[in-house]
Structure 1
Amino acid sequence: MASWAVSPGREKTLQDNCLSSLKQARDLERERAAANEQLTRAILRERISSEEERSKAKHLARQLEEKDRLIRKQDAFYKEQLARLEERSSEFYKVTTEEYQKAAEEVEAKFKRYEYHPVCADLQTKILQCYRQNTQQTLSCSALASQYMHCVNHAKQVSLRRDIYHPQIQVETVRENENSNSKMNIDRLLKRTRRT
């Protein structure tokens, strides 16, 4: 029979090798456990971080949806307000236009338009011609000037009578202004002709 007897030196070496292998195995097991623990912690941190990010993303998405809803609500409100303002503006324009038209018609009905007819225009033309022809002897046109003044005064009287029978027509002041303008025109012409 073969014996497996091992020498004591060899046995010691084998024991040392076994102890060393066991020690290495324990060290490896510890390192593996530490690495697994670190990996587990990293995975947990990553999960927590990704959960927080998902939670933040959901929260931000809700906030965006809320803001979008508020913006749509405000947009609808402002569109409604704008439509109301346009409607009111249109109504105001219509009423204002109608009132203006009505007032214009009332004014036209109340006051007849004044028609301008020059008073004694033919005599005025003759006087002007006379003054031009007789620049040095303006007194030779005095007979025409007298006739013109008589014509103007007669037109005033006729106008006054017409105003008495038709008081709604206010033309007296206009005719007086015409007559004074005519007198002023004659005076200006006289001054011009005397200068030349």
Structure 2
Amino acid sequence: MTTCHSSPAVTCALAIIRDCTELAPASQAVAASVFVVTDDTVSTSFNARTAVVLPALSRQEAIEHIASMIPRDARVIMRSPRLPRGLVRQLAKGRPMPAPTDAQTLATVRPDCDVRPIALAEHAMVAVARHFDIWRAGKGDITAEKARRCEAEAQTLFLSQLFTTLHRHERNRLTAAYQAWSALQRARPLGQFGPTEIF
């Protein structure tokens, strides 16, 4: 009997920190973090990569640089932006979006990836971060603090979607692997931004 081994599944949780709401045309990315999970059900590995985005980059250039952190053919999960009520009314009247979402731009830049924007309530993210002892930035924190906590945001996004998409056995397996990895990460010294690269 021949056993076929498929390639490990690569899932990336992408968090992009902006200086204002994502859908504002003048919104500028200031930092981004990709939490990469490689899983073949036998072994699971985690990797986090964070970038500070230079202000001179255009919106398109910023997404292109952020996209370079993502492995080929990965599934990429991103948190969907909340639509203001006024914008919802405009869209209902047939008017276009004021700016493309980050997920839309990323899907264009990286057609090899399966980009999946997901809606997650803030209270769910807060509960998951608290459960796993992840220090996220608060809603009222300044942009610089949110940028410092960008990696935490990506990790919380990955863990939150586990509770909405996977069966208990798979969820328990992946969260146990994450907790072991997280314990090792906390034991090593990091700089202010962690393992950060500037684009």
Pick the structure with greater CA Rg: 1
Q: Where is the helix percentage greater, Structure 1 or Structure 2?
A: 1
Whether the TM-score (by the shorter chain) exceeds 0.5 is no
TM-score, structure 1 normalization: 0.24
Name the structure, 1 or 2, with higher relative contact order (CA <8 Å, separation 6+): 2
TM-score, structure 2 normalization: 0.24
